[in-house]
Structures are given as structure tokens and as C-alpha cells.
A and B are shown apart, each in its own frame.
Chain A
Amino acid sequence: MIRVVLPAHLKMLAKVSGEVELEVVGTASPASVIDALEERFPMLLGTIRDPLTRQRRKFVRFYACERDLSLEPIDVELPDDVTRGRSPFFVIGAMAGG
């Protein structure tokens, strides 16, 4: 079981509060977690990855275990603490303000 923390905009869109728990088949990577997320919440299709290129949107980052995984290969295996459900996988929207 993978725990996923979504940014506020996407929680609202998916109509969830708190963390999302997902079962991921095979190797748990950012790509497979997002695949599982989109399968369960089809309204999130295209919001984290560009629908055409399937690449991470430029204002979206992936964090886990106090590391920024955004620039790692999207199919890299997630840390053990994430795959065991001890620590969440974070989808982060770039900070906005003024």
C-alpha cells in the first residue's frame, strides 16, 4: 500500500481529504503510482503529467522521505519506506504567492 499526499487543488478535484492509499502492481515508482492514482481518480488525468507527453508538469514536484525525486527517472523505484507505507509519496505544486 502506498500513501499519497496530493496538493489542495487536486484533493478538491478528486473529492478527497487527507492522504490517498493506493495498491500499486509491480515496482512502485512515481510513474506507477501516478498510473494507479489516475485509474482510481480519472479526473486527475492530465493534471500531474502532461496528457500528451506523459511527462511531469513543470510546476509539479515529487517528494518522498525528505528527498526531491522530481528529476529522477519517472520509473525509478520509490524508497523502501514509501513502498512499505511508512512514509508518504508527495505530489507538490510549486509554491505560489506574492
Chain B
Amino acid sequence: MRDVLLVAAKDLRIERRSRIGTAQVLPFALLVLLLFAFALDPDRGLLEAATPGLFWVTVLFSAVLALQRNFGIEAEDGIIDALRLCGMAPSSIYFGKVLALVVQLFALEFVLVIAVAVFYNLEFNGIPLLVVISLAATLGIAATGSIYGALSARLRSRDTLLPLLMLPLLAPVLISATRGSEIALRGEVGTGWSWAALLGLFASTYLIVGAVLFSPLLEDA
């Protein structure tokens, strides 16, 4: 656990110092939401119905940017070799990177929720379910993304390869998070918990897969 927190704290410190998240990823996400609002504004009903999907698509695209940065820093200046030499368990490095990404994405989602309320004039119902869905979906995105981030870290084509590898695999997260959020926003919380459970199952599975696979991925990176 000590190494997990060490890696997560290091990643968050680098993020705070470089301000890529606040200066690039967040403005990008807000711009996407704003463009959707402009595009669908004539049809307020369609915009309202599409909001959960637009929100999670925006989060997914932003996660790709955050992941490219998150693993790009490990590919610079031989850092991956240094990580292999330092004696930390690869699974600790994986969980640390997932934790840092979850914190960043959760902060991003918080700002995006405020933006959705402002741009789309949306009322929020079923907030506890929305929070659980956000947490489980974010964990799933971070767990999956960190596996593919490590896989593509040293590739010259990683910027284009990462979304190609990652986005198809995250389709179940996108669908479950969108359906669950729709139900929560309609105030029909009861059936929404099954989508939250599905998201939790997906996240748990990928966390286990990531913990097992990260060692060979680090060797090949």
C-alpha cells in the first residue's frame, strides 16, 4: 500500500506541476460539451435525452488524453528502466497509476457535472446512484486505460494507438454508465443499481487483470 500511495502521489504532483489537466484536458472537455450544446440546442428534448451519453463520451475522450500524458512521462528519460530496477512490485505501480488517474478523472467529472448543469440546464435526481456510477465507471476507465497505457508507453505511435486499443474495450463502461445515469436522472433509482453493479464487476475484473498483466507489460514496455 505504501508503494501504491507513493506512485499515486508522484503522478498527482507531476500533474499539478505540469498543469496539463487544468490547462489542456479540462478546457478540451468543456469545449466538447459546449459544442454538443450548440449542435443540439434547437432540439432541447434531444439534448436532454442525450446528456448522459454526451457526458460519458466526453469523459472517455478526456481520459485518453490524461492517459497519454500519464504514461508518456514514464517513457521519458529511461524512467521505465528505473521503475524496473527500483524493486517496487509492478502491481503496486499499476494500482498507484490507477489511483492517480481516478482522482484526476473524478475531479474532471465534478467540473463537467457543473458545466452540464449550466450549459444544458439539467436538473439532477438520484444523486447517490450517480455518484456510485461515476466512481465505478471511472475506476473501470482507469483500470483498463492503465493496462493499455503501459502497453503503448514506448511506442512511437502511442498517441493514435491508445484510443484505438482502449475505446472499443470501454464500450461496456460507456453503455452501462450512460444507461445508469439516464435512469438516475429520471429518478427511477431502483433499476439503476444493476447498471452500477455491472460497472463494479467490470472495474474489479480489469483491476485484477491489470495487476496480473502489468509485470509482463512493464518488461516489454
Q: Do A and B bind each other?
A: no
